[in-house]
Chain A
Amino acid sequence: MEINLLWGVFGIFVLLPLAGSILSYLGKKFAIYIGIIFALIPTIMLYPFYAQNISELINIGVNINLVFDTTTWFFMLMIDTVAFASFLFAISCVKKKPEGFASLMLLSLAGANGVLMSRDFLSLYIFWEMMSWSAYLLILRSSGEYARRYLLFGILSAYFIIMGIGIFYYYTGSFLFSDSAGIPLMGWFWILFFLVVGFAVKMAVVPLHVWAPYAYSSEPSFVSFFSGGLSKLGTFGILMGMYGIAGLSILQGFGTFRDVSLFGYPFALLGAFTAFIGTILAIFQDDLRKLLAYSSIGQLGYVMVGLGLGTPLAVSGALFHAFNHAFFKSLLFLGAGAVIYRTGKYKISEMGGLGYRMPFTFLFVLFAIFALAGIPITSGFISKWMLYEAAIEKKFVIIAPLMLIASVGAFLYSFRILYGVFLGQLDKPYENIKEAPLPMLVAMGILMLPLLIFSIFPGWILEWIDDIMKSTGVGTIDYNTYSYYSSIGGANMLVLWIAFMLVFIVAMLIFLMKKARKVDQYDNYLAGESPPYVQLHAAHNFYKPLRDTWAPLLKYSIDRAYEKLSRFFVEGFEEIKKIYTENPQDYAAYLGIAFLLFLFIGWWLL
């Protein structure tokens, strides 16, 4: 019975998308619709499988272990929902070879679900590569250059993970996560280091983030799945590596600083720097997609902080933030995609005033931005709150201010999106622009719901997270349906919502006392000037004064450092190429030198 249930789960969440991948490739024109069906089934099937705990050892020559528990369920919930919304969005906008798109998306969905189900390194790695390569091919649909950058870091990540796996196998002779007894501390250090760094590439942690702004500039409907869904596999990997495989006792064996492992602390610090750097770079972007990409880097930095700190509050904050990020960031990418679909532009300074013509898109994006900025009427606040309090209650005076100031910076780039794209003056070319098509709006609406629901009932999601905390042995968190607590504070969301509603009604009453006459957008105060028509949308180089003050620091760039490194290698190989002189005598000399070299080495070895 048990094994049947596991195969059922495996069939629904991995084999079904795989089958869908082939079917949709054959489906040609209807590929996207087939994709929707095959993404929807796993999403819906998550509900009957809630709180199941299925685990099975399977021997295929080596032992592999497939598991379906709350951790799997929780991550699948975000990845599958986001995948479904992305497919829905793709109906209207993916016109170029839809069968390739649908087939690769389902392949990476199958890979992602497989990664989440595997509790051994062999299946983890196979599914990981499946997901990673289909993502590469999907980026390749837009640009070879972007795809190469992603590929380079994807391979780097895979190498790191392989090294971690290799060391693990060297000590244990097994691929199973559970067979981790008898590894010395030094072995643990290298295993965890390689695994965490390898998975951190997927989360785009500085300085391994340079692929993200390029990869996230490809097709919006894929990017929303990529940034929202697939990057969470990095979170899952680190969670598994640090707390699932090793566990708190081994992490604390590296020494502790206020109950926080000395192994995790540098990663938390790195996460805080990532949050800060990602935010600062996002402020200065003019390309909508790049802005969102840097913002994504910054937000996943918060997740890294939580995973590094490793207190129950921090890890649950990280998981909650990953969950929120999955929804609001894919919503933002879809909103950006809708705007790009309608205008054909992707520079913020070339848009403006679209909110009056695309009100629903605007409202969805506004809500996502509230969540991104951590406004308390969305669930985005709660996860940020948990991470801050986790850092403050342990008195970490570098991590906490970096996170807090990064969150203030998030207001800056949030407003850049809102003002530059949706508010301000509606330009003449966009006078008759239409609202985004219905499937796009439905996709965005689906993604908005969890952000709203979990802001009123944080207890529901915290219950799932608490389950994960218990199963990984990190500890428990203090919460009830409406409120949540740390050792130094707490908040109640129901009180906040009711109070907000009441004061909003008061403001509404004062507001409705008098009527207002609507005037044209050009009918505004211009100090007595009355130009017939001027484009007055102040969105070009929006934060110029700030940019000027940051200019001395902005000239250092990690992107350029990597490019320098690559140039160094290219030039180095150019030099090496010179040994091919096309002179037989030189080749004979090389042979002689090589022979002597081998002789000496052989003599020395023997």
Chain B
Amino acid sequence: MIDWINVLIQAGVTALYLFLAIVIGLLFLGIGRKVTARIHNRVGPPVYQNFIDVGKLLAKKTNIRHNWIFDFAPLFGLAGVLLTLAYLPMGGYRLLSGEGDLILLLYVMVIPALGFALGAGASSNPNAGVGVMRALTLMLSYEMPFLLVLLSIMILYNTASLDVLLSKQMHFAWAIAMLPLSALAADMALQGMMMEKPFDIPLAPHEIASGPMVEFGGKYLGMLMLYSAGSVIVETTLFVDLFLGGGVVLDPATYGILAYVVNYLVWFLLIFVVWLIALFINAVFPRFRIEQAFKFYWKWPTIIAAIGLVQAYIMSAFLGVMP
């Protein structure tokens, strides 16, 4: 018999974590605007600006829609990103799926992007079509090094489960110490995944009017802002979970609730650092063209990731390093 009270508590905690993740995401977006502005020697909006924006957009009376497929974008976008967050251990606390499978996560991550792309495509604005084309091409570009990195981690730690990966990293060593080259390649891929400069090609506000976003306004844009806030957390957390032990420093088995709080704080600090690195690069770089981005990703990060893969392979298959 299923323990319903436990399930309800679990669901409540999950909802809390998801809500916090979105809030942190919005805060990060605000910090991003502020930090970029300071680097550009501007004043910039206050850090809480994005909360005001989302509130205003969701409260707007007039909204414009094109057709029913257009509605896929906010629905699948927000639902998908919440689902992804639910599968991602934040501060070592796994919300769903006892196995926390990495490949499942990889494919769940696609749901919001695909829904968004569908809605954008249905807007019948050519900018949106071009933007989605660029986004997909960019995806093919950065996934090459990123998949090699994932593979190196899975081979070295001999697991496809994020949960096991976190505990192995806590007891042995963080993956960034084991596979520094892979971490470098992953960070390069992360820049494209977050669509920060020099890889903000799909959005490119000055070229194609924010690409896929061009037709969305009002509650649609508001929900898409929540989606992008969520995806910032997804992407930074993915890096932190893969390479920085997910911020897990205390074992929940021994320290109980205290461990969750401390781990959550460490996790917050780590994703903030990862986000800041992305921001600093974003603030000073111009934009690639999409074919340059493709060539770049399939050259340098892929080579670095491949060397990382060779290293992981040798360590695992020949040297018998078994974390």
Contacts and interface: CB of A to CB of B under 8 A. Distances in A.
Interface of A: 353, 355-356, 359, 362, 366, 370, 373-377, 381, 385, 388-389, 392-393, 395, 397, 400-401, 404-405, 408-409, 411-412, 415, 418-419, 422-426, 485-486, 488-492, 495-496, 499-500, 502-504, 506-508, 510-511, 513-519, 521-522, 524-527, 536-539, 542-543, 545-546, 548-549
A516 B63 contact: yes
A411 B139 contact: yes
B75 A408 contact: no
Given A408-B139, A511-B223, A517-B65, A392 B82 contact: no
B64 A517 contact: yes
Given A405-B143, A415-B132, A506 B104 contact: no
A514 B61 contact: yes
Contacts of A376: 104, 107-108, 111
Given A513-B58, A516-B219, A538-B126, A492 B99 contact: yes
Interface of B: 11, 18, 58-69, 71, 74-80, 82-83, 86, 96-99, 101-104, 107-108, 110-111, 114, 117-118, 121-127, 129-130, 132-134, 136-137, 139-140, 143-144, 147-148, 151, 154-155, 158-161, 209, 214-215, 218-220, 223, 226, 289-291, 294-295, 309, 313, 316-317
B65 A519 contact: yes
Nearest to A381: B107
Contact of B133 (A507, A517, A543): A543
A135 to B, nearest CB: 34
A393 to B, nearest CB: 8
Contacts of B159: 488-489
Given A385-B103, A502-B11, A545-B291, 5 more contacts: A355-B69, A373-B114, A488-B154, A496-B83, A514-B60
Contacts of B59: 514
B219 A392 contact: no
A389 B118 CA distance: 29
B97 A492 contact: yes
Give the most central of A425, A502, A516, A542: most B CB within 10 Å: A516
A392 B97 contact: no
25 contacts: A355-B69, A373-B110, A374-B107, A377-B111, A381-B107, A411-B110, A411-B139, A412-B137, A415-B121, A418-B121, A419-B132, A426-B124, A486-B160, A488-B158, A488-B160, A491-B101, A492-B99, A504-B75, A510-B223, A510-B226, A518-B67, A519-B64, A525-B127, A526-B125, A546-B140
Contacts of A377: 111
A194 B51 CA distance: 66
A518 B215 contact: no
Contact of B82 (A422, A507, A526): A507
Contacts of B223: 507, 510-511
Contact of A525 (B133, B161, B209): B209
B129 A495 contact: no
A408 B136 CA distance: 9
B123 A524 contact: yes
A370 B80 CA distance: 14
Contacts of B64: 516-519
A112 B4 CA distance: 51
Specify which of A362, A374, A381, A525 lies most central, judged by the most chain B CB atoms within 10 Å of its CB. A525
Given A423-B122, A424-B121, A495 B101 contact: no
A522 B126 CA distance: 11
Contacts of B124: 353, 423-426, 521-522, 524, 536-537
B78 to A, nearest CB: 4
Contacts of B144: 401, 405
A518 B68 CA distance: 10
Contact of B291 (A490, A492, A517, A548): A548
B82 to A, nearest CB: 4
A538 B127 CA distance: 8
A375 B294 contact: no
Nearest to A356: B67
A517 B219 CA distance: 12
Contacts of B65: 516-519
A516 B218 contact: yes
Contact of A489 (B111, B148, B161): B161
Contact of B140 (A409, A500, A504, A542): A409
Shortest 6 CB-CB contacts between residues of A and residues of B: A489-B160, A423-B121, A516-B63, A538-B129, A503-B82, A516-B65
B234 to A, nearest CB: 13
A375 B69 contact: no
A453 to B, nearest CB: 19
Contacts of B129: 419, 424, 537-539, 542
Contacts of A424: 121-122, 124, 129
A525 to B, nearest CB: 5
Given A356-B67, A392-B154, A500 B126 contact: no
Given A423-B122, A518-B67, A519-B66, A496 B97 contact: yes
A184 B167 CA distance: 50
A485 B104 contact: no
